[in-house]
Structure 1
Amino acid sequence: MKVTAILVALALMAQLAMGYNPLLSSTNCCRCSDLHPDNAPLTSEPQRVPSPFHIVVNKRIYNPGEEVQLNLTAEAGYEFKAFMVIAYRVDKRLNTKEAIGMFTLLGSLEVLEDCLSPYGKALRTVRRQDIQSPVKLVWTSTDYLGHIEFRASFIVDNVKYWVREKSVIIRDPRAPPIPSNEPMFEKMIDPINTAECGKSKGCYRVPEGCWEPYCRYIVTWKDLGKVVLFEMGAYTEGLDDKYIAIGFSNDTYMGDDSVMECVHNSQTGRTEVFMSYNYGSPNKNVRLPDPKIGIVKEEGSNNNYELKRIRCRVWRQKYPVGDWRVNHLQGNSWYLMIASGTASKGNLLRHGVGAYELPWVSPSKVDLRINSNINGRSSYPLVKAHACLMFLAWVFFASIALIMTKYFKTMWPNRRFYEQRYWFVTHFNFMAMCFLLTFIGFILIFVEAGGYSEFPELPAKAHPILGIIMFVCILINPILALLRPDEDSRCRPVFNWFHWAFGTIATVLSIPQIFIGMEFGKAMVPWWATWIVVIWAIAHIVIELTLEVHQCCTHKKNKERRKKYEFQKRENPKLYIPEPEPVGRRFKKFMLFLHVVITTIVTIIMIIVFAVA
């Protein structure tokens, strides 16, 4: 029963916590919703550097029935293994989310049509293949359907891919002109000069020391007397609406923070700067009644958006008046929070809590009068302590305790430790440690979160709920143990069932809990650490199944030995007769040793990862 439950939980865990099917060994192309790989890990992300792959077309105007030839090309030294290509309308007044026209491949690659709409389909590879560049395609439309552009995603390997790469616009000669405030016509602003970082201006960059086109986030500040010049930029992943925001906080937690937003609105085609405020408990961002308060001048470039970047430059007053929620820029030091996410009609949507979604917080407070060059991010020691304690409790202590009680009750029958069998001593003490560590970890995370944490989406939303269920189960079981009836009592089977049920529920839930917890950005766990835990879980299940099969195979012989022992005891009640040793005890000792060694190594590695990541 327990092995079956763990197998089911492991399967659910793989889908729930990791967001993709671990049985698939390659990253395939692609989802219709956002053109991202359909089975890439949550911890992977599209490449930020300019794409070496391009969409080349032979004409800029189309007519119904006429062929538009396009080539998917790769620069020298690059090649892709899978792709998806689709045509979209570009006029925001029309539906820009449905496929337009039909593609025909001129070649022998394995492809299929996808993303069916009333007006067309996309084309994608069936699997990863050896693809010779260029890939030649023909696109046709049965009607005039508006100005269109081609979008393509290119996959190089399991974690390296580019998404939503654009072609030039193919115009519909009968469609009205695209409004002049569309992104392609907005003035480009100068790039952010990173050579001045730490000299004439302060900078906070992610990753460390990056040049602006390659930065995931970049924020700079420069004192100009009565105003401070801020520059901010972020990689947008080619999404329609995106934002980057700077929060000025007295601590490393969101809540009660003044915020400056740089937001792209695809409906208006403009990139603007607004002021807002983060309220605490529950955390909520609210734009101010006067969203331009304190802003003297601003620049936002949509051409940068077209290049998969959003960039703003804003001159802000040091001491704005009229709203207490707008912070004074000098006289105080602040933790800088850099957040990026999806916007809707120019309004920020809530960011996620994953490793690449949670805001980056400066490792220390920043004085905007100093041209410092900031790197790194704040850590959350209570989160790390919680992760270490919970992993030690459930992977090390709980797993060994449960294996001992299930498969090793008959081992060492003539040895005692303070008149108790070895399996019971191990089970009791290890589960006591599991309870103690879980209790401490439970308190630490409540202190860190300031109470119960609410998350907007699954699987993060399930983490606190499952944690409370586990805590209740592990709290009830020691109470039941204190009330345990004698072995000869009629109530003993009832106790055994309840004790088993609560323990099994907590153990099975611990598996997805670990994987969900590792996805939280505050834990800062590298993606490869997930596979270490997956390997441990598989090894644990294999060892349990092996012991289960071994127990079934030796059951008959052990039963015969036990009957013989009971008969001898009845015949010679005054004679000391040692209990029989179980069949296959050497094999079982080896399996226990193997499990303890694997579990110990994995536990040590993961605790080090949690502590230093």
Structure 2
Amino acid sequence: MCTVSGSGRALCLLVAVTALAVPGRALPEGAPGDGAVCSSLRPRHGSHKPQPGPAPFRLAARAAEPAGQWRVTLSGEQPFRGVLLQARAAAGDDPTPLGRFTASSDTHLIDCSGQPQSALTHSTPTSRDSLEVTWSAANSSGPVRFVATVVADYRTWWENVHSEPITVVTATRNTLRAAPLQESVASSAEEVYAGCSAAEYRCFGAPAGCEATKQCDVLFTYVTDGAEFKMRLMAAGQDDTYAAVGFSTDDKMSSDGVIVCAANDADNPPKVYYARNLDTGRDCEITSEANPESASAVQTWEKDGYFMCSFTQEADLVISDQMTIDLMAEHFLLVATGPIDASLKLRYHHSKREASAAAVNLTDASSPGAAGVPALIKAHGAFMLIAWIGTSGIGIISAQFFRGVWVGKKVLGTDVWFTIHRALMVMTALCTWIGFALISAQLGGLDFDHSHNIVGFVVFLLTIVQVFGAALRPHPDHRLRPLFAWGHRIGGVSAYLLAVTALLLAQQLAKTTLPDYWFWVVVAAVIVHLIISVLLLITDRCSSPDLSGSPQVAPDTDALLKTEAPGSPLRRAMLGFYVFSSAGFVIALVTILIVSTA
């Protein structure tokens, strides 16, 4: 304890503050390069021990140019300040470092075990979210993996953070693989999924995230040894169905090469084909014979509602004389499944498809991520929610229960209730039409493969009928006016109910990942609409039986009304509550849509 005063006390305080600050930092100039640290990769942080359990960091490597180089990336779920990184033989416990690193701006190199530039550490204790450096194989060969110790602060660090093994080969292509290429064949869908879970294969399926839930419509898995790929294509269904993976320069299928596993003959097992997609993205032509020579060791099965093709594919995928795909280069992966007939005519796959989020290097050690729900689909859903949870309900009740409110007041030359009704229903129609245009652009046309799409299309047609019917409505004194009024009301209510049904059915779409409570939020919005409607109906009947808002009352005049109906302040209050609650439901549902399908 400090007992001095004056300047001595100040010095004591400085020492105490410095002592407290030490645990919050890594060594500012990186790890020392002595033999003990190079061998153990353990920092000299006093009595502090490595953190137990899995490290919140990922170490990955991908082949780079020129041949013999890799880009090594360290990233994690939290920032880190220090790192000590080496490459070592993947097999055994030999601590001898391999190859050479190239330092980045905030790192420097260490010569470990007499090997120049064989380890890399930080040069400043700056907090960072990721680190990427270059490693050269030099004279190394065989299976290699990267090993690191990662430091968050003086007390908190993790050891043995390692990558998947890479294989250094003497060929011009250097390839990363998860395990030696084997000829084992999964005999069931469960075994295919097990290969994904155990990271034996890299996996990409549709819908997004299905690899974890084991409910893929189509699944593509692969692993490589540096010269060729072991691939599997599996899909749900057995007869007259295909599973396909395309290799594209973007996330849309156009003139791209495709590998197809076709179960188009009930009397014979599935077969592997090469195909070329045409410019439209909807037509695909087979370009090879069944089980082409460059897809060797083909094995297939059909069982338990699935079919699969397993094969070994050469790195040069020759689709046709005019198209050869280098599988060692980066490509967007596009997986799909759909119907196929006996003549090998592949039909459009509709919603059972998925694209990778970015171009994929098939030699990477991690499985690719899905692109998720396209922005056009999200925008389509948002416009439909604005139309049928927001504006339509307010427009409907304004016409049903507010003819006796704001009597004598005009907006844009017509009664207030009619101006509200017309504006909101026009907005409902416009949002519906915009939403329909967006989804049509995304799908490339009409698509009736799901009940949501069918019901939504009927709603779209009803909005056209409603808008043009209102524009051509008969004069208030015309004998057909009552018939129009009832028809217009029935059409509007039908469109509302069908639109709500379509919103509920959206939860079943393979392309979305809407949570279970989506159903109940939509139902809650409808219940609020019904409660407000019932309360307004009771108010209407009890306070003004002669002004019930029946269709016989002219929809754009208040000639029969001289004063406001009793209970008008209460009606306005209920309308205000309904407007705010509708806005709240729209905001909540749009947020759920965007967050859940990101």
What's the TM-score bracket when you normalise by the shorter of the two chains?
0.5 to 0.7
Residue by residue over 1:330-389, the C-alpha shift from the partner in whole angstroms, topping out at 9 and shown as x without a partner, is 4754321223567888979868756xxx22221112233544431233331112112111
Residue 595 (1) aligns with residue 595 (2): no
The 1-side partners of 2:325 and 2:469 are apart by: 54
Give the 3 Å change call, closer, same or farther, for CA 219–556 of structure 1 in structure 2: closer
Residue 536 (1) aligns with residue 535 (2): no
The 2-side partners of 1:214 and 1:402 are apart by: 41
2:465 aligned residue (448, 473, 484): 473
Alpha carbon RMSD of aligned pairs, Å? 4.6
SS of the residue corresponding to residue 373 of structure 1 reads: coil
Preserved contact between residue 273 and residue 298 of structure 1 (Cα < 8 Å): no
Q: State the match for 1:410 in structure 2.
A: 404
The 2-side partners of 1:265 and 1:353 are apart by: 18
Preserved contact between residue 248 and residue 336 of structure 1 (Cα < 8 Å): yes
The 2-side partners of 1:475 and 1:287 are apart by: 47
Preserved contact between residue 246 and residue 259 of structure 1 (Cα < 8 Å): yes
Unaligned residue ranges in structure 1 (runs of 5+): 1-185, 560-577
SS of the residue corresponding to residue 334 of structure 1 reads: strand
Greater fraction strand: 2
Q: State the match for 2:594 in structure 1.
A: 611
Preserved contact between residue 355 and residue 371 of structure 2 (Cα < 8 Å): yes
Q: State the match for 2:387 in structure 1.
A: 393
Residue 428 (1) aligns with residue 422 (2): yes
The 1-side partners of 2:524 and 2:256 are apart by: 42
Moved more, 329-338 or 202-211: 202-211
The 2-side partners of 1:380 and 1:490 are apart by: 50
Residue 274 (1) aligns with residue 267 (2): no
Matches within 5 A, 1:265-304: 267=266, 270=269, 272-279=271-278, 283-293=282-292, 295-300=294-299, 302=301
Aligned letter for 1:245? A
The 1-side partners of 2:304 and 2:492 are apart by: 54
Higher relative contact order at CA 8 Å, sep ≥6: structure 1 or structure 2?
1
SS of the residue corresponding to residue 231 of structure 2 reads: strand
Q: State the match for 2:220 in structure 1.
A: 219
Give the 3 Å change call, closer, same or farther, for CA 359–558 of structure 1 in structure 2: closer
Residue by residue over 1:20-66, the C-alpha shift from the partner in whole angstroms, topping out at 9 and shown as x without a partner, is xxxxxxxxxxxxxxxxxxxxxxxxxxxxxxxxxxxxxxxxxxxxxxx
Structure with larger Rg = 2
Preserved contact between residue 298 and residue 312 of structure 1 (Cα < 8 Å): no
Residue by residue over 1:577-597, the C-alpha shift from the partner in whole angstroms, topping out at 9 and shown as x without a partner, is x95442344553454344334
The 2-side partners of 1:505 and 1:436 are apart by: 18
Residue by residue over 1:549-581, the C-alpha shift from the partner in whole angstroms, topping out at 9 and shown as x without a partner, is 44334443769xxxxxxxxxxxxxxxxxx9544
Give the 3 Å change call, closer, same or farther, for CA 280–395 of structure 1 in structure 2: farther
- How many equivalent residue pairs? 396
Shift of 1:404: 0.7
SS of the residue corresponding to residue 584 of structure 2 reads: helix
Aligned letter for 1:608? T
1:315 aligned residue (312, 316, 322): 312
Residue by residue over 1:488-509, the C-alpha shift from the partner in whole angstroms, topping out at 9 and shown as x without a partner, is 7888768756765765564454
Give the 3 Å change call, closer, same or farther, for CA 533–543 of structure 1 in structure 2: same
Shift of 1:292: 2.9
Residue by residue over 1:150-179, the C-alpha shift from the partner in whole angstroms, topping out at 9 and shown as x without a partner, is xxxxxxxxxxxxxxxxxxxxxxxxxxxxxx
SS of the residue corresponding to residue 335 of structure 1 reads: strand
Q: State the match for 1:228 in structure 2.
A: 228
The 1-side partners of 2:310 and 2:243 are apart by: 12
Aligned letter for 1:583? P
Give the 3 Å change call, closer, same or farther, for CA 245–348 of structure 1 in structure 2: farther
Shift of 1:194: 4.8
Preserved contact between residue 246 and residue 258 of structure 2 (Cα < 8 Å): yes
The 2-side partners of 1:275 and 1:440 are apart by: 39
The 2-side partners of 1:351 and 1:494 are apart by: 44
Unaligned residue ranges in structure 2 (runs of 5+): 1-184, 549-560
Preserved contact between residue 274 and residue 287 of structure 1 (Cα < 8 Å): yes
TM-score (structure 1 length as normaliser): 0.52
TM-score (structure 2 length as normaliser): 0.53
The 2-side partners of 1:187 and 1:394 are apart by: 48
Give the 3 Å change call, closer, same or farther, for CA 414–209 of structure 1 in structure 2: closer
Preserved contact between residue 287 and residue 319 of structure 2 (Cα < 8 Å): no
